[in-house]
Chains A and B, each alone.
Chain A
């Protein structure tokens, strides 16, 4: 047993649904070390296990439940903002502090160059080891974190640098000091001001997109999400504790909230799902970060071509139109699938979900922006 553990280094952080993958992986490792010691030709067996590992990973990851994706989004080996800075950013200069109160470690800001694009990077910071995590409040920023972000974003506007926001937070910090210093106002002001920033803004949810804490750096011209990230109004646990009255309902809540990247793309809330390597970003961190880097560069190229006034108008209109028209949603989430997802008798739910035409939302064909 001890030997098995040694040969499978990712074992301890494997997620419950990844166990079958880990079993095959550890057997493969055993075989590999055996192949080095023996003169027998094991190449056939090795090929078999390699193929099996790949296929199994593909199969399991092709069929992740929303809750599984939440688990992947929180995986301890998943690349964090600090990894992106290290891997993607040249000429990185961290800029500290909100200029008034403090320097929130849960929010990192600085100048960076990504694939030749000079920009301002803003991101939630979670921390990798225990000490770091505590210093970053596990990625939950205080008001000074949001104010630091806004202060630096205004600087970027002044310098004409585009802004890239990496979202990865379970939510803004709920504490006495945060309330005293106006957590709600800090977030609201960021959302409000981001509509007016006269430079392109790209937002990527790289892990957790927890509610207002995420949206506080989440208003952009392009909003993307990694394949296994989640983004919603509340965490599945928070939702479960309120509506199901127990954290046990977290899996059902994750289903009900439609918090996955593919679902939010259908809802018109994000622009793109950034694909992760098979087995999740934690499985091949560098490849995952490269994909994100490419997406950032593509979007910055695209946005640079849009005249400023048009850019701001489109940003306003993008959020003005959320959510999208009822008819398209009816097609995307037909009553049958809804019922099947929630595990309730379809016939019973069908009648409830039949929407009276008079109750459909009458969104204007053209947004009433001036």
Chain B
């Protein structure tokens, strides 16, 4: 501990940061220029929803929607501190109402509706507001007859909302089913980490499942599995490449190429004969 503390002291003003994967010290500016991908080991660091939108949407095209939706502590959930306090703290920390930002934008020139989960807000967990925003994003895409792109970074459903958060899995899947039946095209992009109720709902039922490299993706967390089976987990277990090999994702796309690749995918969905039937 003492060693780590001193080491941190040597690094003034957050100029350097340590890569959580390879452990190398990276110059913060360089990391940012590299879209928060470690230049040494290509580890894709988790980024905020705002940052994600900034690097994914065509510059200046994002129009945020559904900002009127605010979370509330419906169950009066209290563990060590009241859930209402946790919401307030997370709002203060992130400047966002909840763990999802949604809106319309262009990606490589294609008009889309985008919803992005924010891991920095209570681990990107899905409660009523996240479920509602994802649902509304899908509905808006249906109205406008444009594709919807859903970026996930989430620990799963939010416990503090009990069965209400569980029902968001149904709500979002129902919306995507309705959208698809009307001819809609959807892309799910899973980023590190995407687990639990988010993986087990909207993130897994889009037309295409894209993953960022080396992202942790799964239903149960690795610790839960280890506690159940009491064995070491296989190398690379629940990582994007592992899922690709097991047939669970369609393709892996590096962050630096995400906008361009999404553009190509969207181009294939823009066939005139595949138009919405609404």
Residues of B within 8 A of A243 (CB): 79-80, 159
Residues of A within 8 A of B75 (CB): 256-258, 333, 338
Return B221 CB to nearest CB of chain A, in Å. Answer: 8
Q: Does A67 contact B (CB under 8 A)?
A: no
Range, interface on chain A: 35 or more
Q: Which of B28-87 contact A (CB under 8 A)?
A: 68-80, 82, 84-85
Give 8 A-B pairs besides A183-B220, A232-B162, A360-B70 with Cβ atoms closer than 8 angstroms. A174-B219, A175-B220, A176-B233, A183-B219, A187-B219, A212-B197, A232-B166, A333-B76
Find out whether the CB atom of B228 lies under 8 angstroms from the CB atom of A175: yes
Interface residue ranges, A against B (CB under 8 Å): 172, 174-176, 178-185, 187-189, 191-193, 195-196, 211-212, 215-216, 218-219, 231-234, 239, 242-244, 249, 252-253, 256-259, 264, 267, 269, 315-316, 319-320, 322-323, 326, 329, 333, 335, 337-339, 341-342, 344, 349, 352-353, 355, 358-363, 368-370
Q: Does B212 contact A (CB under 8 A)?
A: no
Q: Does B241 contact A (CB under 8 A)?
A: no
Interface centre among A188, A337, A361, by most chain B C-beta atoms within 10 angstroms, is A188
Instruction: List 6 A-B pairs, Cβ < 8 Å.
Output: A175-B229, A191-B173, A244-B79, A316-B178, A353-B84, A370-B142
What is the number of residues of chain B that contact chain A, defined by CB distance less than 8 Å?
70
Q: Does B259 contact A (CB under 8 A)?
A: no
Residues of B within 8 A of A358 (CB): 70
Residues of A within 8 A of B233 (CB): 176
Find out whether the CB atom of B162 lies under 8 angstroms from the CB atom of A353: no
CA distance A370 to B132 in the complex (A): 16
CA distance A337 to B247 in the complex (A): 49
- Contacts A233-B161, A259-B162, A358-B70 known; A349 to B82 CB distance under 8 Å? yes
Find out whether the CB atom of A182 lies under 8 angstroms from the CB atom of B205: no
- Contacts A243-B159, A256-B78, A320-B171 known; A191 to B201 CB distance under 8 Å? yes
CA distance A320 to B142 in the complex (A): 15
From B68, B163, B228, contact of A362 by CB (8 A): B68
CA distance A329 to B73 in the complex (A): 10
Find out whether the CB atom of A215 lies under 8 angstroms from the CB atom of B70: no
Find out whether the CB atom of A176 lies under 8 angstroms from the CB atom of B225: yes
Q: Does B120 contact A (CB under 8 A)?
A: no
Find out whether the CB atom of B74 lies under 8 angstroms from the CB atom of A323: yes
4 shortest A-B CB distances, which residue pairs? A338-B76, A174-B220, A188-B204, A184-B199
Find out whether the CB atom of A319 lies under 8 angstroms from the CB atom of B171: yes
CA distance A341 to B205 in the complex (A): 38
Find out whether the CB atom of B246 lies under 8 angstroms from the CB atom of A182: yes
CA distance A182 to B238 in the complex (A): 10
Q: Which of B158-176 contact A (CB under 8 A)?
A: 158-159, 161-171, 173-176
- Contacts A187-B219, A256-B78 known; A233 to B173 CB distance under 8 Å? no
Q: Does B27 contact A (CB under 8 A)?
A: no
